[in-house]
Amino acid sequence: MQHNYFIYITTNPSKTVLYTGVTNDLKRRLFEHKENKGVDKTFASKFYCYNLLYYEHFANIEHAIEREKQIKNWSRKKKENLINKENSGWHSLNDEIFSV
């Protein structure tokens, strides 16, 4: 059986805040981030981090969590470099995910 896990980086509309997360359903998680925007309950919702900039797919949850922790410990500059390798224009990838 194929398992799907994702690490992802989202940002707010002004692209000043980066949020790194892990999920087993990227489409659902992006929907949740958008629906919860402005709610002070979580970091991503408080800072409107619902625009997907980057993601990686994993078949193993332990590997996904390990990668998430690695990226969370990086500097902003290192995260920006990672995003720039795949998405140099910092375009929102939400439509790409929702069209699948």
Decide if 49 contacts 11 (C-beta within 8 A): yes
Task: State the pLDDT at residue 1.
Answer: 65
Task: State the pLDDT at residue 36.
Answer: 81
pLDDT tens by residue, 16-30: 999 999 999 999 999
User: What is the H or E stretch that residue 85 is in?
Assistant: helix 76-86
pLDDT tens by residue, 61-97: 999 999 999 999 999 999 999 999 999 999 999 988 8
| pTM exceeds 0.85 for this model | yes
- Sorted by where each starts, the structural domains of the chain and their CATH numbers stand as 5-98 (3.40.1440)
